[in-house]
Amino acid sequence: MKKKKMRKNWNRYTKNIQKNITAILLRAVVVGSILAAIAPIGVGSGGGVSTISFVQPLSGVDGDTSGWSTDDTMVNLGTNNWSLLNGTATVTGYRNGGSGILTHRGTRGLGVSGAEDDEVDSIDKLERLAITFDTPHCLSYLEVRSFFDNEGPGGEPEEGDIDLYLGGSHVQYYHPQGNQSHGINGVWNISVPDILVDRIKFYVNDTQGYAGYSEFAVAKLDVEPFDINVNKTVWNPAISGWDTSRVAKVSEDVTFKCEVHPKCCNLTNVVVTDILSESLNYTDTKNITVDGVPIT
């Protein structure tokens, strides 16, 4: 008897698997002589949290940074892009739809050369900074600087715009506003609830009234490469517990457990594909559970 290949799309079970740890139980019947060993596996890029800092001390910035500012003075970097995180990310400046030369202040961060040379603004032309990643990253912290209150004609605070993207889709928007007086660094920051991104865009919306008096510098962010680990085990009656392998008799039911551990986001879709030996035949799907909830 040949085994039945199981490929199950779990989209309709989304409500049951939006958790950080998902345990999927599968039952099969042995139709051969022995059960193959089931070994734990890990899938993902690994790595921990990295800080990208454009204020001194610099962090996550590649190459020769000896020409960058070390204090409160501004330096024109003479390029529209810079490599980050050992070549896995890039920061790029734009102005009026074309290239924008990056500028730097050691106490504030990155800007784009223009009306306010050391910051991102839309006073005369739309400027923006974009940080892109080769692979999705978990964003947990954002910081911009040079945001002050009482900057508008009526005492309004400076305002800005931050867009987060994943795979070309917009996933989050932040609208920072200045709340500090001049004489300090005008810091605005936020601890992000682990959002998966591959592109971050910083700008001042040129269609809004605050564009005439708002500008800011990009200072810091904390990111971590997306990682997902899968641990597979099989129930072993001999030890009354989950094991990496076991021997089973013909016609005996066997239960497998797949634990999926995504690092920074909830699961919304799981696809299970049978790649086991032909000594197994999967039983009816009523014996499949996700986090203890039977799937029928």
Asked whether the beta carbons of 1 and 280 are under 8 A apart, the reply is: no
Identify the band that residue 63 occupies on the pLDDT scale cut at 50, 70 and 90: very high
pTM of the model: 0.74
Report strand pairing: 288-290 vs 293-295.
antiparallel
Which residue type occupies 61? V
User: What 3-state DSSP class applies to 85?
Assistant: helix
Distance separating alpha carbons of residues 119 and 151, to the nearest angstrom: 15
Distance separating alpha carbons of residues 16 and 34, to the nearest angstrom: 33
Instruction: Please state the rounded mean pLDDT for residues 81-87.
Output: 98
pLDDT above 60 for 111 = yes
pLDDT above 60 for 16 = no
Distance separating alpha carbons of residues 90 and 80, to the nearest angstrom: 10
Choose between 265 and 207: higher pLDDT.
207
Rounded to the nearest integer, the mean pLDDT of the chain is 81
Identify the band that residue 242 occupies on the pLDDT scale cut at 50, 70 and 90: confident
Choose between 260 and 98: higher pLDDT.
98
Question: Nearest to residue 259, comparing CAs of 237, 241, 233?
Answer: 233
User: What 3-state DSSP class applies to 210?
Assistant: helix
pLDDT above 60 for 10 = no
